[in-house]
Each structure stands twice: as structure tokens, then as C-alpha cells.
Amino acid sequence: MNVRLHIDALVLDGFPPGDRYRIAAAVEAELARLFTDQGLPPGLASGGAVPALDGGSFDVAPDARPDRIGAQVAQAVYGGLSR
């Protein structure tokens, strides 16, 4: 099964602008892993668009690297799709 996921806007407050591409790459990689390992979330089972998704919030360690931040963001997104 092929899944096409388009995130029009991802709003992350409080992170250095220079980290945005590394965070985005980590989000993409972690979402791919989650879809591969855990399958299609129930929120997408019938197909179609999800006009908005609130991934909630999570704690980030002050010294967290962009790849870890991106993984946390992806897990929040995947969790939001699973509700």
C-alpha cells in the first residue's frame, strides 16, 4: 500500500530557525518508520483528507537534538491520526 501524506504547515514554536530542515527530515523519517512498523492509523483508514490535526504537546529536553525533536513531533502527529 502506498500512502501519500502532505503536511501543509507544521508550527513549532521555540526552536531555532536553523534547525527547521533537520527537524523536518527527522519528522519525515519517523513517520515513514511508524507507518511501516505500525500500519495505517484508524484516522486514515477510510482515506481522504484530514483538514487539521492537533498533535498535542510534549516535553523536549533543553539539549535535545533536532533529530530527536523531529521524532517526537512525528510520534505526536501519528498519535493524533490514531484517535
Backbone φ, ψ for residue 43 (5° rounding): -65, -15
Tens-digit pLDDT string for the chain (83 aa) = 677 888 888 888 888 889 999 999 999 999 999 999 999 887 687 777 788 888 888 889 989 999 999 999 999 999 988 87
Distance (Å, whole) CA 42 – CA 64: 30
At 38 the pLDDT is 94
Distance (Å, whole) CA 43 – CA 31: 15
At 36 the pLDDT is 92
Q: Grid coordinates representing 53?
A: 490535526
pTM, 2 dp: 0.86
